[in-house]
Amino acid sequence: MTTTETVQQSIYDQVLESTPRGERLKLCLQCGDCSGICPFGYLMVHPPSRLIAQLRADRFEKVLETDTVWMCVSCYACTAVCPAQIPLTPGLMARTKEELILNGNVPAELQSALENSQRYGNPLGESPRKRADWVAGIQPEVKIMGKLRQPVDVLWFVGDYPSYHPRVQATAKALARVLHALGVNFGILGPEETSDGDSQRLAGERGLFEMLAERNGLAFSKYEFKEIITTDPHAYNAIKNEYPRLEISYPIRHYTEFLAERLDQLKPLLKQEVKAKVTYHDPCYLGRANDIFDEPRRLIAAIPGVELVEMSHNHKNSLCCGGGGGGMWLDGFQWEKAHVRLSEWRVKEALAAGADILAVACPYESPRFEDAAKTVQGAEQLKVRDIAELLVEAMGN
Amino acid sequence: MNIIILVKLVPDLVEELTVDASGAALDMSWLRLIINEFDDHAIEQGILLKERGGGQVTVIAPDVEGVDDVLFTAAAKGADRLIKVKGDFSAGVNNHALSRAFATIVKGLQPDLVLTGVQANNDIDGALGPLLAGMLEMPYVGYISGITIDAAKSKVRKEYPGGLIAEMEVNLPAVLGVQAAEQPPRYVAVSKVRQVMKTSTIQEQSAPTLDPSGGPTISRMFQPEAGGRATMLSGSADEISAKLVGIFKELGVL
Amino acid sequence: MTQDIYVVIEHLRGQVAEISYVMLAAARELAKGQKGKVVAILLGKNAQGLAGNLAADRLVSFDHPALADFTSDAYQKVLADLIQKDQPRAVLFGSTSIGTDLASVLSIRLGLPLVSSCRTFSPEGKFVSQICGGKIMAEGDLPMPTALITVVPGGYKAEDGQSTQAPAITQAEVPPLESLRVTLSKYIEPETGDVDIAKESLLVSVGRGIQNQDNISLAEDLAKALGGVVSGSRPVIDQGWLATSRLVGKSGKSVKPKVYLALGISGAPEHVEGITNSDTIIAINTDPAAPIFGVAKYGAEIDLFDLIGVLTEQVKQARGG
């Protein structure tokens, strides 16, 4: 049993030691910018600045007694705005959630997502053997590395939701079509791929993250490829920023970067007009966390007929869809506390911007925004499309 | 309080289940084995009893694929002793054989209370708990959703359909078949289990030859007809309603 | 030794449990081929009144204060004695909270073979059991000399185990029942506050399609007529039109009703997760591509508002007013 003293010390020291630039925690001015910009800060008993205050006041056990830390969706808004540049999201929030888990304070929904990740390698609880079932019927065939046994140029890390979730499989199929159209020599790991683990890491399960990363690392090491691309900004973030610390290091890009680089080749294929006002939602882990804002917009702008409009929160101050940091698996819990969904807020912004189509680039977003559009008045006609899906639409038949 | 928890690992229903070449048994090569969820509840209930009233918790499981992880996870939750029963479980064993294998070990440990899940998805010859109770000549009550210990007696809540509960007194030592622990099985962080793997050990005990007598001989295993898409009912609202009423009657609802 | 098929009748608080009738129907099937009689075994206190519609050839009654309510030790003693003496061809127990407290212990105590989760039998003496959540069926010959069997519902209709005439009753001598290790203290009724949908056998479930709170009463009328309860998918609960306790799905409850009637529910995976254990799913939705039709047994492509009133009326009529 850890004593209060040991718990605080270890958290304080942990953040300082285990996160890059963690020692900046000492520089907190208690300005409250983090708590102010946090989308759910108003519901937390201990929003980020107060968390730090409790740590410093020797009262971390107060935090462990509450459950509102689980309102954090790891959106990086606090981290982006902190004048002292403290790594709040990956350091403080993730580590606090870790302590909550160790103290048995885990909402049931999240618990089963974590247990599923452990047992099946994906939070949805689907059989790992079926991870590549989505490729059935696609011509030309999507190459699975384990069967191909030949080097490829690009290893496409598909991700949990694109592999298994019925709505997001459409994104995977769309991206496969685009890659084929561009003549990219790519392969996927299929059943050998396991969850990237990033959301689980940010939800406080560092041990689980390492276990999943190790599995992926092992799978990567078996094959020859020049670079990795991901459908998912979370996988991108994990493989780019976290895996190297576990000695798993590869050139890595999000698919929007990869395609934007090939825009000259892609543009002539976009023959079909898509006459619509399109607004782009910057995913937290592509935009704010990794500074990728332009490439997705360039892809959208390349589609004939499209008028790109911006929502009032865009680029660095984009609003989170609510799916990160475990949020995907805390929906019931967060709804009970908030009675409002971040995804609904965002859909309202899309409507206010006059958008016909809400374009996304993260697998969490299409199901979340489509669900939200069902309950927001006036959003019945709003379409939600991943950029890959828009490109395929523009490619026509 | 000396508490023993018996655990089975059973086929994971998330995976495809197929029948092997003999046509009379499950194809074990594609099976993923996971802890029987009712046994997971039994572990949780055992840990709760220990947390409340002190004592020692021993978890016993057969040596099949995945058992180490199951036992270490139990230790990370608070189990004190872990026992793995070695034997030839490769072809799958019925509950009569398993309970015989456990009986000698359990008897030697002289428990006050034996907990196990009330059922498991691969039961074909009764359940582990009551079979063991028969062998040890201990009283057995199943479908338990609450236990309090009072000296040499236990007060248990037995579940009946419709939410009805019977509160019963059971003399100890006894075997109880757990339907649900008083709280859902707790989560254990992967890091904690990994830590426990370094500090705990699993004792191994050998089972005498596995004797399945008392269970049935299966001559054939098969999958029931596949579902597929819904049978669509068509017509006007009146016609569809009439068809639905017919279906309700068939199902015994009306 | 006889070729008779014994059925251990289950009753609780003065009511015969439905499984008892299912077992009697099953026993009749078996008895045909085994050329034996169906014998109902009734343990209780003044319980003969319950024998009225049991479709058995005869009934053996054990009447004793200690048997008034089910407790495993007492019932085991009586049945062990009986089975040892009579050595019937088979003894059927319910795969229930009562039956499973008895069958396995008796198997060891009497050295008799046991086969569980049986759904159907053939007159030739074959059983078919369901295992692995119903995904696998196992078939075999009923073991000899006396087969102890637990029976699950679904293979036979309760009405086939019912009769208009009570069977002939013999009172049997109850063996001594002292030093019982299991005793009943009391029953605890379920809270009447709100229902536990996970325990309901018929659910009328509404989704986004119900559109507003007022329309919930339409679902409630139908549920009442069918003897069920209203549940809902997430959008309905989120709007506050139904209590959280009625939520079905990933963030709510997993339900296992006999009938799950899904009205205006699309069938998103998060919802379907909570209903896969339903016996029969019936889906009403205007969208033919709604995923719910992939998991439902029956479906109709019709607006729920066009259907619900008419259906409720017809159900009420079928019930007889």
Position C209 confidence tier, pLDDT thresholds 50, 70, 90: confident
- Asked if A263 and A394 touch (Cβ cutoff 8 Å), the reply is no
The yes-or-no verdict on residue C321 having pLDDT over 70 is no
Cβ of A375 and C250 within 8 Å?
no
The verdict on residue B111 lying in a domain is yes
Q: What is the CA radius of gyration of chain B?
A: 21
CATH architecture, domain defined by C197-319: 3-Layer(aba) Sandwich (3.40)
Assess C224–B contact: CB distance below 8 Å, yes or no: no
Number of neighbours of residue C295 by Cβ within 10 angstroms: 20
CB half-sphere exposure, A274, CA atoms < 13 A: 24
Q: How many distinct structural domains can be found in chain B?
A: 1
Position C234 confidence tier, pLDDT thresholds 50, 70, 90: confident
Region C142-168 average pLDDT: 92
The yes-or-no verdict on residue A354 having pLDDT over 90 is yes
Q: Chains A, C: CB contacts under 8 A, how many?
A: 24
pLDDT digits (tens, 9 = 90+) for A73-110: 999 999 999 999 999 999 899 989 999 999 889 988 89
Helices A166-181 and A365-375: crossing angle in degrees, nearest 10, is 130
Output the pLDDT for position A6.
Answer: 57
The yes-or-no verdict on residue C133 having pLDDT over 80 is no
Output the pLDDT for position B160.
Answer: 85
The winner for highest mean pLDDT among B26-35, B86-95, C193-202, C217-226 is: C217-226
Output the pLDDT for position A397.
Answer: 67
Nearest CA-CA distance, residue C130 and chain A, Å? 23
The winner for highest mean pLDDT among A48-57, A116-125, C190-199 is: A116-125
CATH of A117-260, one of 3.20.20.140, 3.65.10.10, 3.30.70.1520, 3.40.50.1860: 3.40.50.1860
Region A279-291 average pLDDT: 96
Torsion region of C74: left, alpha or beta (phi above 0 gives left; psi -120 to 50 gives alpha)? alpha
Cβ of B14 and A115 within 8 Å?
no
Query: What H or E segment, with its residue span, contains residue C293?
Result: helix C292-295
**Among the partner residues C235, C252, C291, nearest to A375 by beta-carbon distance:** C235
The verdict on residue B214 lying in a domain is no
Q: What is the mean pLDDT of chain C?
A: 91
Q: Which residues contact B61 (CB under 8 A, 6 or more apart)?
A: B6, B7, B8, B9, B67, B70, B71, B83, B84, B85
Which CATH number is B192's domain given? 3.40.50.620
**Among the partner residues B34, B184, B187, nearest to A119 by beta-carbon distance:** B34
Of B59 and A59, the structure prediction assigns the larger pLDDT to: B59
Give the 3-state secondary structure of residue B225.
coil
Residues of chain A in contact with residue B33, where contact means CB-CB under 8 angstroms, are none
Residues of chain B in contact with residue C132, where contact means CB-CB under 8 angstroms, are 11, 13, 17, 26, 121-122
Position A387 confidence tier, pLDDT thresholds 50, 70, 90: very high
The verdict on residue B48 lying in a domain is yes
Query: What whole-number percentage of chain C has pLDDT above 90?
Result: 68
Which residue, A212, A266, A256, is CA-closest to A238? A212
Which residue, A331, A323, A369, A325, is CA-closest to A349? A369
- Residue of B13, B14, B65, B72 to mutate, testing the A interface (most A Cβ within 10 Å of its Cβ): B14
Write the CATH number of the domain with boundaries A4-102: 1.10.1060
The yes-or-no verdict on residue C142 having pLDDT over 80 is yes
Cβ of B240 and C302 within 8 Å?
yes
Nearest CA-CA distance, residue A118 and chain C, Å? 18
pLDDT digits (tens, 9 = 90+) for B44-73: 999 999 999 999 999 999 999 999 999 999
DSSP class per residue in C220-255: HHHHHHHT-EEEE-HHHHHTTSS-GGGBBSTTSB--
The yes-or-no verdict on residue A1 having pLDDT over 50 is no
Cβ of C269 and A332 within 8 Å?
no
pLDDT digits (tens, 9 = 90+) for B122-161: 999 999 999 999 999 999 999 999 999 988 889 999 988 7
Output the pLDDT for position B196.
Answer: 97
With CA atoms as reference, the chain C residue closest to B99 would be C108
- Residue of C21, C96, C101 to mutate, testing the B interface (most B Cβ within 10 Å of its Cβ): C101
- Asked if B62 and B6 touch (Cβ cutoff 8 Å), the reply is no
pLDDT digits (tens, 9 = 90+) for B77-120: 999 999 999 998 877 799 999 999 999 999 999 999 999 999 99
Query: What φ, ψ does residue A222 adopt, rounded to 5°?
Result: -80, -20
Query: What H or E segment, with its residue span, contains residue A117?
Result: helix A108-120
Cβ of B190 and A120 within 8 Å?
no
Cβ of A115 and B187 within 8 Å?
yes
pLDDT digits (tens, 9 = 90+) for C257-313: 999 999 999 887 778 878 888 999 999 998 887 888 888 999 999 989 889 999 999
Residue type, B202: I
Asked: is A263-395 a CATH 3.40.50 domain? The reply is yes
Query: Quick one: fold of C5-171?
Result: Rossmann fold (3.40.50)
Position C35 confidence tier, pLDDT thresholds 50, 70, 90: confident
User: Across-strand partners of C115?
Assistant: C149
Report the distance separating Cα C120 and Cα A70, nearest Å.
50
Would you state the structure tokens that stand for residue A42, as one six-digit string? 């108003």
**Among the partner residues B11, B126, B240, nearest to C300 by beta-carbon distance:** B240
The DSSP symbol for B186 reads: P
CB burial of C9-41 (b: ≥16 within 10 Å; e: otherwise) equals: bbbbeeebbebbbbbbbbbbbbbeebebbbbbb
The yes-or-no verdict on residue B226 having pLDDT over 70 is no
With CA atoms as reference, the chain C residue closest to A332 would be C251
Region C98-114 average pLDDT: 98
CB half-sphere exposure, B142, CA atoms < 13 A: 26
DSSP alpha helix (H) spans, chain B: 37-53, 67-77, 95-109, 128-136, 190-199, 237-250
Q: Which domain holds residue B61?
A: 2-206
CB half-sphere exposure, A77, CA atoms < 13 A: 25
Report the distance separating Cα C34 and Cα A261, nearest Å.
79
Which residue, C110, C251, B217, is CA-closest to A330? C251
Cβ of A102 and B192 within 8 Å?
yes
Position C151 confidence tier, pLDDT thresholds 50, 70, 90: very high
Cβ of A211 and B190 within 8 Å?
yes
Would you state the structure tokens that stand for residue A154, as one six-digit string? 């690009």
Query: What φ, ψ does residue C111 adopt, rounded to 5°?
Result: 65, 35
Query: What whole-number percentage of chain A has pLDDT above 70?
Result: 96
The yes-or-no verdict on residue A263 having pLDDT over 50 is yes
- Shared fold status for C5-171 and C197-319: yes
Query: What H or E segment, with its residue span, contains residue C271?
Result: helix C269-272
Report the distance separating Cα A187 and Cα B212, nearest Å.
49
Region A296-321 average pLDDT: 96
Region C188-215 average pLDDT: 83
- Asked if A315 and A280 touch (Cβ cutoff 8 Å), the reply is no
Cβ of C137 and B224 within 8 Å?
yes
CATH code 1.10.1060 region(s) in chain A: 4-102
CATH code 3.40.50.1860 region(s) in chain A: 117-260
Interface ipTM: 0.90
Give all chains having 3 or more CB-to-CB distances under 8 Å with chain C: A, B
Q: Chains A, B: CB contacts under 8 A, how many?
A: 38
Residues of chain B in contact with residue A111, where contact means CB-CB under 8 angstroms, are 187
Distance (Å) of CA B236 to CA C218, C297, C298, C307, C309: 19, 20, 16, 9, 13
The verdict on residue B244 lying in a domain is no
The yes-or-no verdict on residue A159 having pLDDT over 50 is yes
CB half-sphere exposure, A235, CA atoms < 13 A: 30
- Asked if A123 and A88 touch (Cβ cutoff 8 Å), the reply is no
The verdict on residue B230 lying in a domain is no
Nearest CA-CA distance, residue A328 and chain C, Å? 11
